[in-house]
Structure 1
């Protein structure tokens, strides 16, 4: 699309075309060694009734969406990187995996119902966006939530997106914060936390 701003992830993979394959191999190796790579997904699963609808925004190679599909949920995963989507399709059949730019998210235009029970954005995805697109991405999350749906976003400090600015951008995008945690295993957030997991509902 004319005028489209590439994400930081796209700039990284343009500079190093092997980066995406390295990323896929890294998580496959961690899983093969028995490492826990789905802690974020367990939190999301605990929030949901069986058979809920989940949008895995910035799904990467499908580690979270694959787990949530196996737990009985209907999952749609979107990522800008076709290498990662191909790996998700190979390793985690079942969910709907789509190549797409989160800044231009419009799943109804692609024949996908937008009323999700949860939009999850993990893996520091927010820090890999082009800064000028952050509000558009968050607004897309809000548009794709059902009336009682929630968005859950997690990323680390010192990655170029300050937590107060993120909360402000989310409010501008139509999301109301319900809960702030410092980890995906439910530890409370405070001013010294170096990670944020924020749970939002759609603003009235």
Structure 2
């Protein structure tokens, strides 16, 4: 059995955590905050009508915007409360409950690989540490030839960037472009955030 993710440990400790998270982003959207940075970057990476996997989609903020831009989006998250919110707030994409460490979409009727995979919102740091490498391998397995994976997370959250790069290499993913923000600022050794655009070897 796969170790429970850090996210689901938080939910177990506080059953209202998911609801708080959903309302936090709904409130930010109502206030007019810019919540589209990740989606803008991914939209620029792909052709029109691309197939995109939103891995760790949460309440659908990124995948919903990509669907509005005309892409074919599938979102997967381990938390059923977040998936329910995604279905309510962003109808259109296919939202699915699932553990990224065991991701096997062909067994769920989704056979075509993805032109791009986005994993935003510090998802990598919310995974169980023992599953991070497995998740990257599962993402690689769902990537179309020539496709890319966009992964973003912050420093100081229990997953060193150097360890991430090692895990990505083991999953046969290599850096195409490294940034320090979703708005295209260059990555440096002292960056506090990483946006890694990876391609399959």
3-state secondary structure, aligned to 1:5: coil
1:180–1:199 contact (8 Å) kept in structure 2: yes
Per the normalisation by structure 1, the TM-score is 0.97
Give the corresponding residue for 1:157: 155
1:125–1:155 contact (8 Å) kept in structure 2: yes
1:114–1:145 contact (8 Å) kept in structure 2: no
2:180–2:195 contact (8 Å) kept in structure 1: yes
Give the corresponding residue for 1:5: 3
1:56 to 54, 57, 69: 54
What stretches of structure 1 move > 3 A for 4+ residues in a row? none
Per the normalisation by structure 2, the TM-score is 0.99
Instruction: Quote the RMSD (CA, aligned, Å).
Output: 0.6
The runs of 5 or more residues in structure 2 that have no matched partner are none
2:91 to 93, 105, 109: 93
Q: Map of 1:1-204 to 2, 5 A cutoff?
A: 3-203=1-201
2:53–2:73 contact (8 Å) kept in structure 1: yes
Q: What is the alpha-carbon distance in structure 1 between the residues aligned to residue 112 and residue 199 of structure 2?
A: 15
CA-CA distance at 1:54 after TM superposition: 0.3
The runs of 5 or more residues in structure 1 that have no matched partner are none
Residues 126-160 of structure 1: per-residue CA shift (max 9 Å, x gap):
00000000000000110000011101100000000
* Corresponding residue pairs, total: 201
Residues 1-24 of structure 1: per-residue CA shift (max 9 Å, x gap):
xx2210000000000000000000
2:51–2:115 contact (8 Å) kept in structure 1: yes
1:107–1:114 contact (8 Å) kept in structure 2: no
